[in-house]
Amino acid sequence: MPPERLDFSRRAYLVERMDEPCSRDELRACLRDISRVNRWLFGDRPLFIWLNSLNLAPSAAPVHILDAGCGSGETLRKIERWASARSIAVELTGIDLNPDAVAIAAEATPTASCIQWAASDVFSYRSEKPVDIVISSLFAHHLDDAGVIQFLHWMEDHAQLAWFINDLSRAPTPYHLFRALAWAARLHPFVQYDGPVSIRRAFVAEEWQAMCAAAGLREADVVIQGFKPARLCVARRKPQ
């Protein structure tokens, strides 16, 4: 059967099943499979390339990193191990709108961890401590364009040092490849459905350029870079 013909020239505003009400057990199974896919496809590689580029030095003053839309919390647990291996002091905060996601993240985190979890809408969240770095992974495509612009404003207002968006690239090849991978790996039905939908909801570089401009960012302020397979990331390092 030939691949279905879809329009990838614009975002498709489709509903992802994980964004609808479901049980905590169902969500846990979905997040587990998403984490598996991220490991298989090196989904966090762009983030750690960027973190290494910041050249954060070991210091008595911890670097406060906030993960917006933290999901299962796996990214922050990886950052905690990355920082520990480099003797970089960090304070880590994960926030997610879904209280079940926050509970799942907390239960998967070792008791000795320093990560703090909060169930909150990102736009109403107020940190008790200044935030140095804001990151997000697979969060931005859940927002409409106006919401993305609002998120860019929010990160500019809250991140004192830098911010990084790790998201998907909208294109037919990753769409069809993910469908085949998800079917072959027998991933959770929600993930089999939501993965391709996420790609259709995602962005191309020109859209990021327009949204960054709408948020008051100059072209020189941000780096928009693609990573294989199927990642499109936006990075901002503020002048110090």
Domains and CATH numbers, the chain: 24-169+205-237 (3.40.50.150)
CA distance 110 to 112: 5
Predicted local distance difference test score (pLDDT) of residue 1: 41
Predicted local distance difference test score (pLDDT) of residue 161: 97
What's the burial of 232, exposed, middle or buried (CB within 10 Å: 0-12/13-18/19+)?
A: buried
Asked if 43 and 231 touch (Cβ cutoff 8 Å), the reply is yes
| Phi and psi based region of residue 71 (left: phi greater than 0; alpha: psi -120 to 50; beta: remaining) | left
Residue pLDDT tens, the chain, 240 long: 445 578 899 999 999 998 889 999 999 999 999 999 999 999 999 999 999 999 998 877 899 999 999 999 999 999 999 999 999 999 999 999 999 999 999 999 999 999 999 999 999 998 989 999 999 999 999 999 999 999 999 999 999 999 999 999 999 999 999 999 999 999 999 999 999 999 999 999 999 999 999 999 999 999 999 999 899 999 999 997
Asked if 193 and 17 touch (Cβ cutoff 8 Å), the reply is yes
Predicted local distance difference test score (pLDDT) of residue 23: 94
> Helical H runs in the chain?
24-40, 45-53, 74-85, 99-107, 145-158, 172-184, 189-201, 205-214
Tokens at residue 131, please?
């935030």
CA distance 23 to 202: 26
pTM of the model: 0.94
CA distance 152 to 148: 6
Spatial CA neighbour of 136 closest among 80, 190, 96: 96
